Amino acid sequence: MAIILRLDRVMADRKMSLNELSEQVGISNVNLSKLKTGKVSAIRFSTLDAICRTLDCQPGDILEYSPTDSE
């Protein structure tokens, strides 16, 4: 996939645990864990908004585009 999720890096920079972020954003640990590890194919804007608000970051801090060789 050409989109790389950097949520783990931003969480580490903010010294925030998965459980803390999950509670503050209002999504389950399981779904947040999948998002953190990049095992998702979509994210709702409302979820992205809540994550950015909680971590005080921009969407570009969490999402990164990396073109694949096959393109």
The CATH number of whichever domain residue 31 belongs to comes to 1.10.260.40
pLDDT (0 to 100) of residue 1:
60
Could you tell me the residue range of the domain that residue 18 belongs to?
3-61
Give pTM, 2 decimals: 0.86
Q: What is the DSSP letter of 64?
A: E
pLDDT (0 to 100) of residue 28:
94
pLDDT (0 to 100) of residue 53:
97
Residue 68 placed within a domain? no
Contact (Cβ atoms closer than 8 angstroms) between residue 2 and residue 67: yes
Residue 69 placed within a domain? no
Residue 67 placed within a domain? no
Residue 57 placed within a domain? yes
Q: What is the total count of domains within the chain? A: 1
pLDDT tens figures, 16-69: 999 999 999 999 999 999 998 889 889 999 999 999 999 999 999 999 998 875
Residue 71 placed within a domain? no
Its sign, for the CA torsion 21, 24, 28, 31, is negative
